[in-house]
Amino acid sequence: MKYRTDKLVPVAALPGRLAEARRAGKKVTFTNGCFDVLHVGHVRLLEAAKAAGDLLIVAINSDRSVRTLEKGADRPIHPEQERAELLAAFDAVDFVTIFDDSTPLAAIEAIRPDVLMKGGDWGPDQVVGREVVESYGGKVIRFPLVPGRSTTQTVAKIKNC
């Protein structure tokens, strides 16, 4: 069985990996998050992000980074390498990268996506990297949430079983 580890790329290597596609006029979309316990909202976000460009990069918080986000002492549920591998299995996803900072700002600055997509739970002024992306003419899209679907809700539901 072949695992899609070819899609797992460090942030520093992505600009080089994207250079040829960019020369060919391809648009790069970027989204990020913990992607800890995947649900239908994640799937819809990934598909919409892919549709907004030609190449989709998904940046996930490292395990250490997730713990800084006040998600709870027991988070993440799945370790970063497993979360990355799960995301790499999606046809819509071209590259997965892991960032260790509390925000993806450094990754956004390095990658310079044409489109930055975030879930609609983030207000326009809360989207990390918005100003950077808009400064060079990029577009920011806030994707509507699927009502009643979130990892936090799923984890709480499991704990109450």
In the chain, where are the structural domains located?
A: 5-159
3.40.50.300, 3.30.1370.160, 3.40.50.620, 3.90.79.10: which CATH number matches 5-159? Answer: 3.40.50.620
The tens digit of pLDDT for each residue in 26-51 reads 999 999 999 988 889 999 999 999 99
pTM for the full model? 0.90
Nearest to 39 by CA among 130, 161, 126, 156: 156
**Using CA atoms, how far apart are residues 60 and 63, in angstroms rounded to an integer?**
9
Arithmetic mean of pLDDT over the chain? 90
Check: CB of residue 127 under 8 Å from CB of residue 138: no
